[in-house]
């Protein structure tokens, strides 16, 4: 009886995972909606990112630091400090569900903010594009790249050394589950160390192009009234 219910079980056939890869986006997408509960208008953009673990993916992690992480980031300086369009900018890879490490499959780098109603979408888009295109067309300095690495390293160790070291446990589980090698957690810093200004620009040119972007805007106010039903309709 014990052998029957608690004995050895034959190994089942491996489960074939579905292909969830996405085609290369070739046109900018835009959607908006009216939200009666929104106190202010909102604006968000998302870009498809390189495959996880590739050199370009590491570069995208540093681009994230340069563009939206901290008050020294380019989008913060442009949208908050210089133009006053927004009061804060938030974003990241796999934002806000997790971090750039704990996912598998297609993913977005995204950012969002709220703004005053007197700021037009054209003004906002022009401000964002000026920052993005500057990164796409001009090599970053060695100083800015070094600062991005320092910020990334600080963020990584803050995650690892958090309460109960849950962040480290998460990373070990992620690399065990997705890569079958939890030791890869020790190679993260090396991946970022190999990123060059040329790779930053190459990655930005491909993944920060407007045709790889989807924009979503929220307008406060009452939703449009539904069209009346024709006479006799149920």
Indicate the length of the chain as a whole number: 234
pLDDT in tens, 165-192: 899 999 999 999 999 999 999 999 999 9
Residue carrying structure tokens 């997705």:
178
Of 149, 132, 104, the closest CA to residue 46 belongs to: 132
Domain count of the fold of the chain: 1
Is residue 52 a contact partner of residue 171, using CB atoms and an 8 Å limit? no
- Its domain, for residue 44, covers 29-220
Neighbour-count burial for 95-105, b at 16+ CB within 10 Å, e otherwise:
beeebbbbeee
Is 52 a member of any domain? yes
CATH no. for residue 43? Answer: 3.30.830.10
Q: Report the mean per-residue pLDDT for the chain.
A: 94
Report yes or no on 233 lying in a domain: no
Task: Tell how many helices (H) and how many strands (E) occur in the chain.
Answer: 8, 5
For the stretch 25-68, pLDDT in tens is 999 999 999 999 999 999 999 999 999 999 999 999 999 999 99
pLDDT of residue 9: 82
Cβ neighbors of 220 (< 8 A, separation 6 or more) are: 34, 35, 36, 37, 38, 39, 40, 41, 117
124: in domain: yes
Q: Between the CA of residue 128 and those of 25, 79, 112, 140, 177, what are the distances in Å? A: 19, 8, 11, 17, 37
The reply to whether 144 falls in a domain is: yes
211 in a domain, yes or no? yes
On whether residue 78 sits in a domain, the answer given is yes
The answer to whether residue 136 sits within a structural domain is: yes
**Percent helix, strand and coil across the chain, each rounded to 5?**
45, 15, 40
In a domain, 71, yes or no: yes
* Residue range 120-153, pLDDT digits in tens: 999 999 999 999 999 999 999 999 999 999 999 9
Task: Using a pLDDT cut of 70, give the percent of the chain over it.
Answer: 95
- What is the pLDDT at residue 8? 84
């Amino acid at each position: 009886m014990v052998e029957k219910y608690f004995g050895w079980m034959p190994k089942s056939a491996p489960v074939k995972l579905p292909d969830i890869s996405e085609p290369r986006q070739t046109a900018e997408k835009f959607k908006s909606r009216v939200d009666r509960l929104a106190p202010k208008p909102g604006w968000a953009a998302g870009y498809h990112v390189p495959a996880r673990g590739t050199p370009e993916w590491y570069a995208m992690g540093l681009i994230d630091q340069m563009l939206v992480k901290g008050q020294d980031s380019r989008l913060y300086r442009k949208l908050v400090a210089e133009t006053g369009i927004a009061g804060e900018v938030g974003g990241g890879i796999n934002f806000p569900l997790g971090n750039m490490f704990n996912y598998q499959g297609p993913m977005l780098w995204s950012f969002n903010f709220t703004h005053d109603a007197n700021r037009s979408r054209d003004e906002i888009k022009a401000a964002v594009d000026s920052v993005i295109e500057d990164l796409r067309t001009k090599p970053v300095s060695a100083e800015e790249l070094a600062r991005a690495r320092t910020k990334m390293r600080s963020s990584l160790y803050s995650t690892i050394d958090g309460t109960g070291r849950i962040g480290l446990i998460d990373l070990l589980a992620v690399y065990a589950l997705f890569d079958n090698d939890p030791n890869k957690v020790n190679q993260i810093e090396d991946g970022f160390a190999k990123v060059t200004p040329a790779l930053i620009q190459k990655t930005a040119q491909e993944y920060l192009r407007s045709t790889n972007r989807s924009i979503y805007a929220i307008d406060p106010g009452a939703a449009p009234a539904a069209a009346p039903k024709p006479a006799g309709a149920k």
